[in-house]
Structure 1
Amino acid sequence: MPDVSADGRMPIVDVTEPMGESGSRPVSQSPSAPTAAPISESRAARRAAREERRRNPILPPIATERRLTLVPATAVFALLLALATAADHALGAAAIAWGGLVVAWGWPELMGSSSRFGSSLAIGLAGVLAPTAVALTPDEPYLRHVPVVVALALLSMFMHQLLRRDGRPRLTQSLAVSGAGIAVAAIGAAYVPLGRTSGGREVVTVVMAALALSAVADLGAPFARARSWMLPVAGAIALVVGGVAGLFVDVVGWPSGALLGVVAGTLAHVMRRTLCTLSPIRGMRGQITAAAASVLVTAVPVYLLSRILVG
């Protein structure tokens, strides 16, 4: 109980906050005090940053390494496809099926799938059945059974995920890897009808010549000055080779040959350069897979352009 003074009044108690060591009173902070809002970057600054990245792209170190197996593997598969298609459409389908098996063999590892066996099974199913179905279709449209094959491959992909007993880690990534591999393997089947149409075999020969020689541009990856010119050089080589090859084939002609060559060569180069940013590309398995995928992925645009330009 506080002391009472002689006149019966309570003493005055100082309730002010104590002084700090520097003589100043501490400032009480309210929990509801507003905090400083983050400074938003202006549109001009974001645009300038994008332009700087465009002029000076930052590539991972792995994308600047030389791939000695990738270039000859691309040329060998392109030559094999051209010779097989020129001989017979069934042999062309066998070459496409072999490329699909190569993709099934290395694609899951290249993409880092968590379920490699199931991914390889689904991709291999599409890679073998799609060209086989096209080769066995008696009349046009030759590609009418390919959607059925793709549906079966997707069904096997999902069934495998349901049967997994490892907890399905990275399920979304596994499905994405399998779906992309199925697409690449099934796209290659569009080369098979060219072996059964007028001028189609000549188109495949011209395109494969342009695609094989344009792969030489990939050798410029280790050189900083040449790196930014790799895509234009690949397109220019494919343009010239396709045009020159078209001169010797009356059915195709040099304008159509040049256009077909530059489209196929550029698309194949972009595919290889994209896959060269993945770590497994350092191995021979990854490079052979990337080579086969870069050839197969060009089938649909080549098929469409050949039907428009050649007939």
Structure 2
Amino acid sequence: MSDVPEQQAATPAAPMTRRERRARSSNSPTTLPKRALLARPLTIAATVAFAALVGLTGYASPDFVALAVALAGLVVAWGWPQLLSLPSPRGTSAVLTVGTVLMTGTVLLTRDEPFLQWMPAAMAISVIVAFLHQLMRRDGRPRLTESVSASVMGLAIISAGIALAPVPQFLDGEHALAASMAGLGVGVLADPLIKVQRLRQWALFISMFIGGAAGMAVSFAAGEPKPWSAALLGLLAAAVSHAARRVMAVLPATAMPRAQLAVGASSSLLVGVVAYVVVRSSFFV
């Protein structure tokens, strides 16, 4: 017979501290859902199509680049609410459409440096429209914070893509844009590697390698920009877009065609600000 009193034996264990809970969660293996390990064909096709369209329009006119980016922005506006399962999809699509039109218009109407000088104003108006959308909702405003943050995030992604429009106006900008798009379009071909367990952890680095090689190939073919600058553009474009697709791959809605197109368009638009910064930096000169 045990000497421990029955009341003392029934005493519950003390709750774990935050440090103990973090330690336990860090020791437990993290298993990704199966959907995160699938290569979505529509996403790959949308990324390649965007890269080809923007790369070719860069040799025609910066205005055509802006229109190509606007087309991708409209795709994001169409599929973003479904991708994130937002409570007011039509209103969110309207907000992103208004933001795309405003930000594209500021670039089309600006002919001198700085080419993006009116972008902050267009972005600010778009964010105000996003808040007005929430005020006009008649559904009780469920998941209000999530809806607002998703709208602002979508606007930020579109604004990043708009930065591609003025790139052809800089020195050797059309070739730099082509190098970036080559890295984007070729780098996405590494996405199916996430299905192979041994290659899954190397998929990002393989995407960066082949993206950099594609950018350098554009440099050798066109003669401009410098090979290492073109390789950097291709490498960064492939890395940013691949990382964005991997982050969004865990969302349940990625099984739907519209959401897959939104993933391809949004991950491609994020490349814009990277290409703009590299072209404007001293490294590119």
Task: Using the TM superposition, give the Cα deviation of residue 96 of structure 1 relative to its aligned residue in structure 2, in angstroms.
Answer: 0.8
Q: Distance in 1 between matches of 2:122 and 2:183?
A: 30
Task: Name the count of aligned residue pairs.
Answer: 282
- Alpha-carbon distance in structure 1 between the residues aligned to 2:46 and 2:196: 21
Whether the 8 Å CA contact 2:38–2:192 is kept in 1: the answer is no
Q: Deviation digits for residues 123-179 of structure 1, max 9, x if unmatched? A: 111222212211211211110101111111111111111111111111111111111
Pick closer, same or farther for the CA change 1:251–1:117 going to 2, 3 Å.
Answer: same
Select which of 162, 173, 189 maps to 2:146.
173
Q: Secondary structure at the match of 2:153?
A: helix
Aligned CA distance change for structure 1 residues 29 and 73 (closer, same or farther; 3 Å): closer
The equivalent of 1:8 in structure 2 is none
Amino acid at match of 1:79: A
- 1:89 touches 1:193 (CA, 8 Å); kept in 2? yes
Matched, 1:95 2:57: no
* Matched residue type, 1:169: P
- Equivalent residue letter for 1:202: H
Which segments of structure 1 move beyond 6 Å, counting only runs of 4 or more?
A: 27-30
Task: Find the counterpart in structure 2 of residue 262 from structure 1.
Answer: 235
Instruction: Give 5+ residue unaligned stretches, structure 2.
Output: none
Note the residue ranges of structure 1 that are not aligned, 5 or more in a row.
1-21
Rg (Cα) greater in structure = 1
TM-score (norm 1): 0.83
Q: 3-state DSSP class of the match of 1:167? A: coil
- Identical-pair percentage: 33
Structure 2 residue 277 is matched with structure 1 residue 300:
no
Looking at structure 1, the residues matched to 209 and 216 of structure 2 have their Cα atoms a distance apart, in angstroms, of 11
The equivalent residue for 1:85 is: 58
Give the distance between the partners of 1:151 and 1:49, measured in 2 at CA: 40
Which of residues 117, 131, 141 is equivalent to 1:158?
A: 131
2:177 corresponds in structure 1 to: 204
| Aligned with residue 14 of structure 2, among 37, 45, 58 | 37
Deviation at residue 49 of structure 1 after TM alignment: 6.1
Q: Which has the higher contact order (CA 8 A, sep 6+)?
A: 2
Let me know the Cα RMSD of the aligned residues.
2.7
Q: Does structure 2 retain, via aligned residues, the 8 Å contact 1:199–1:310? A: no
Any conservation in 1 of the 2:175–2:218 contact (CA below 8 Å)?
A: no
Match of 1:191 in 2: 164
Q: CA deviation at 1:306?
A: 0.9
Q: Which amino acid letter does the alignment assign opposite residue 127 of structure 2?
A: L
Task: Classify the secondary structure of the residue corresponding to 1:113.
Answer: coil
CA–CA separation in structure 2 for the residues paired with 1:181 and 1:280: 16
Task: With the length of structure 2 as denominator, give the TM-score of the two structures.
Answer: 0.91
